[in-house]
Amino acid sequence: MNHFDYRDGDLYAEDLPLSAIADAVGTPVYVYSRATLERHARVFRDALSILPRVHIAFAIKANPNLAVLNVMAREGLGADVVSGGELARALAAGMAAEDIVFSGVGKQHHEMIQGLEAGIGQFNLESEEEGIELAEIAAERGLVANCALRVNPDVDARTHAKISTGKAENKFGVPIDRACTIYSNLAALPGLKMRGVAVHIGSQLSELEPFEEAFAKVGALIAELRAAGQTVTHADLGGGLGVPYKAGDVFPTPEAYAQMVARATEGWDVTLMFEPGRVICGNAGVLLTRVVRVKRSSNQVPFVIVDAAMNDLARPAMYGAWHDFDAVAPTGEKMTAHIVGPICETGDTFAMDRECDALAPGDLAVFRTAGAYGATMASSYNSRGFIAEVMVDGDKWAVVADRIVPEAISAAERVPDFLKD
Ligand SMILES: Cc1ncc(COP(=O)(O)O)c(C=O)c1O
Ligand SMILES: N[C@@H](CCCC[NH3+])C(=O)O
């Protein structure tokens, strides 16, 4: 069931017409469906219930909005965080500290202290150097940090190069052939309790084989570690399961993913941890926008200029990503157009030569599948401010992030005294 669907020719979010949100808060605006977020969390959790011991940590980089995190916490999910800011959000949303995993290659000293003092469940260490630093911080405070060592399995995730993280040349994790030595070195340090291994080979994976290849290597490593006398009670298999961005695209289901995991991890005897992001929230959000102008004067193919831009939704400009684009009140007519934003860069293009609903100035439209890596990657480029976020729940709705106007951003800037004479 799709919670962003047409009723009598108008696009709804659950039981609310999107036009009502546009009228009330203006455009552009992100709109999330609570029911979709819940359904995706449940489908993922239910699929994984075929596995013996499971912990799911929502990768909050995908959508760190506090209302979204609140839904995740209510569904019993923990959080995968990559900064002190994300850690604070997870705690503020009511996630238990022990359900929080801290990933990332560049955890800073103060962030390690923050994680330790909060009593988070696990640090995923990405280098020996990081482990040594964390051990010192923990030992100084008489604390012990539960840790997993993230390994780089040198597997091609067959996704966009910029979001592929498991090839040897990528910055993530330690080379898997050095992992046993590094794990053993770190396990000998006071302040650390090495309890597992972690792997995450990339995002928006459209096939299960790369996961399975990586997990097979992790399985061999677990055997090697145990043979070397190390304790391994946890294996964090990361996130990465992709979602369809184009109507009609078919992706592996969470059930198929879970069956693959069951096969790949048979006999591991560990708690399996997962860090899904996009698969939970990607299709739970749209970016609602209004057509500013249709420019036909300069080209054979018209430019549909919308009020959203690359600063609001960076994915098309950054990765050439496709987002389905539909009118909120389609007439039935179609057009072929370049869909662009107002920013002064040619890269501010959402789609080229896109066959889409015919649109005229003032019409509303949505970019679909904008619930993951949308608002969170926004910038204020061209002094456009940050757009609002709304959550819908049946026929109720609420602004869950205020629009931040350009004046509020410039209010944080100062002209120094030396420029005032
Ligand atoms: C360590 C880690 N875990 C989890 C995720 C979430 O990935 P996805 O949103 O593709 O599930 C990412 C992002 O790719 C990540 O870097
Ligand atoms: N920002 C990327 C995903 C990054 C995943 C980070 N680990 C995207 O929109 O597809």
pLDDT digits (tens, 9 = 90+) for 165-194: 999 999 999 999 999 999 999 999 999 999
pLDDT for the residue 211: 98
Predicted complex ipTM exceeds 0.85: yes
Structure tokens at 30: 């992100």
pLDDT for the residue 1: 65
Using a 10 angstrom Cβ sphere, with 0-12 exposed, 13-18 middle and 19 or more buried, the burial of residue 319 is: middle
CA–CA dist 162, 159 (Å, integer):
8
Q: What is the pLDDT of residues 68-115, one digit of tens each?
A: 999 999 999 999 999 999 999 999 999 999 999 999 999 999 999 999
CA–CA dist 38, 5 (Å, integer):
17
Residue type, 4: F
Question: Which residues surround ligand 2 with Cβ inside 6 Å?
Answer: 61, 163, 203-204, 315, 319, 373
Residue 287 β-bridge partners: 30, 367
Dihedral angle sign, alpha carbons of residues 358, 359, 360, 363: positive
Residue for token pair 């920013």: 343
pLDDT for the residue 79: 98
Asked whether residue 320 is marked as a ligand-binding residue, the answer is no
Q: What is the pLDDT of residues 60-81, one digit of tens each?
A: 999 999 999 999 999 999 999 9
Ligand nearest to the CA of 202: 1
Task: Give Cα 87 distance to the centre of its chain.
Answer: 15
Query: Would you say 144 and 192 are in contact if contact means Cβ atoms under 8 Å apart?
Result: yes
For the chain, list the domains and their CATH numbers.
4-32+282-410 (2.40.37.10), 34-278 (3.20.20.10)
Residue for token pair 């350009």: 406
Question: Which protein residue's CA is at the shortest distance from atom 1 of ligand 2?
Answer: 373
Task: Measure 31 CA to ligand 1 centroid, in angstroms.
Answer: 22
pLDDT for the residue 298: 77
CA–CA dist 149, 210 (Å, integer):
20
Question: Which protein residue's CA is at the shortest distance from atom 5 of ligand 1?
Answer: 239
CA–CA dist 396, 17 (Å, integer):
11
Which atom belonging to ligand 1 lies closest to the Cα atom of 242? Answer: 10
Query: Would you say 339 and 405 are in contact if contact means Cβ atoms under 8 Å apart?
Result: no
Structure tokens at 126: 């990405």
Q: What is the pLDDT of residues 306-335, one digit of tens each?
A: 999 999 999 999 999 999 999 999 999 999
Ligand nearest to the CA of 318: 2
Query: Would you say 313 and 63 are in contact if contact means Cβ atoms under 8 Å apart?
Result: no
- Residue ranges in the chain whose pLDDT is less than 50: none
Residue type, 289: T
Q: Which residues of 145-180 are buried (b: 16+ CB within 10 A; e: fewer)?
A: bbbbbbbbbbbebebeeebbbbbeebebbbebeebb
Using a 10 angstrom Cβ sphere, with 0-12 exposed, 13-18 middle and 19 or more buried, the burial of residue 418 is: exposed
Structure tokens at 274: 């997962």
pLDDT for the residue 297: 87
Asked whether residue 275 is marked as a ligand-binding residue, the answer is yes
State the catalytic residues.
Answer: 344
Which atom belonging to ligand 1 lies closest to the Cα atom of 239? Answer: 11
Task: Measure 406 CA to ligand 1 centroid, in angstroms.
Answer: 31
Task: Measure 414 CA to ligand 2 centroid, in angstroms.
Answer: 33
